[in-house]
Amino acid sequence: MEIKPAERISGIKPYFFASLEKTIVELRQNGMDVIRLDMGSPDLPPRDFIIESLVDSARRADTHGYGPSGGSASLRAAFASYYLDRFDLQLDPEKELLGLIGSKEGIFNLSQVLINPGDLVLLPDPCYPVYPIGATIAQAETYSMPLLAQNAFLPDLDAIPDEIADRAKLMWLNYPNNPTGAIAPYQFFEKVVAFAKKHQIVIAHDAPYVDVCFDSYQAPSILQVAGAKEVAVEFNSLSKTYNMAGWRVGVAAGNPEIIRLLRMYKSQMDSSLFKPVMQAAETALLGDQTWIEGRNQVYQQRRDLIVATLKEIGFELEVPKASLYVWAHLPEPWADSVQFCDMLIKQTGVSITPGVVYGESGAGFVRVSLVTPVERLAEAMTRLKKWMKEKV
């Protein structure tokens, strides 16, 4: 029997990292020592007190059944406490916060609850691929907002034609940004909220890197802007802030009607988070936060090593103040980042990500991630430098 996929998924290709995985397995089978600088999954573990909370909770007999849809009341209260401490923001745990099985789930589902076929969605280019995939599955039309070096990798709102802005239903933003490592000043968020109100657009701000900051920088939340809750929903996550990527716990925060719709949709789609994960997430959110600064210094040291090496061999880049990535433009005569990354991994074992994976405006760029211990990173940078010199 011929299995015919639904038309709405026919344009979807396998996730880039799934095909990269295949190449890496083959290279390793052939004896290549592959160093992965392509992923955004933190290599450092969560703090012991968080793991202990998970274990203690898992040992109890009453924590193995289904959890409450949208996360327990105490998990949502813990997120409210985090938003109050971190951003001085009051959020109603019942109406303005929703627990997610990792923020990726909520990001994908937002398009399913808001978008009708043919609705217009504004997407940054480059961007995290789940925004366009969510829009594609919802059969949206999309409009690209290029993130360019000359605009500090912020979208130029004034360049969006009025008829596009008036038709648009949803705009995605993500700061600190994956893949560019750019940050957004608070004033930019003020401008975005005013733009959204004028054109009646929902703003989805994706902020999983909000606590991965360097050089004493503190990233803002879009919800700090007065009136933002009228138009905005923010996604946040424990994956990067607390090194808990595999645990799958995130949050949607902000506009109560969007939270209500997502909550209703999710009550049909999933069966909540594992109770011990929710308990440990509460422990992470309510417990000691001082270790995060030390962890960020580890990333900062890695960032400095990557930045120094890439600059030395001619890449153009801005030093990122946050996120887990260095975004760098290839030096001449290189132009094709897919070809560059493919040759690099096959000839040296160093794996980095071609920028074009995140959108057309990423052509000519590569993304190097910070989630590898500094000794291995140093080895990768030595190989990269040597290889580049041989190629010239």
Contacts to ligand PLP by CB under 6 A: 40, 102-104, 107, 128, 174, 178, 206, 208, 237, 239, 245, 250
User: What is the nearest approach in angstroms of ligand PLP to the Cβ of residue 241?
Assistant: 10
Q: In terms of CB distance, is 104 or 199 closer to ligand PLP?
A: 104
- Pick 228 or 322: Cβ nearer ligand PLP: 322
**Residue 225: how many CA atoms within 13 Å on its side-chain side?**
27
To ligand PLP, the closest distance from the beta carbon of 123 in angstroms equals 13
- What's the min distance (Å) between Cβ of 13 and ligand PLP? 18
- The distance of closest approach from Cβ of residue 359 to ligand PLP in the complex, given in angstroms and rounded to an integer, is 13
Q: Which residue's CB is nearer to ligand PLP, number 91 or number 110?
A: 110
Q: How far is the CB of 295 from ligand PLP (least distance, A)?
A: 17
Question: Which CB sits closer to ligand PLP, 178 or 309?
Answer: 178
Q: Are 358 and 179 in contact (CB under 8 A)?
A: yes
| Residue closer to ligand PLP, measured from CB, 208 or 349 | 208
Cis peptide before 331 (omega within 30 of 0): no
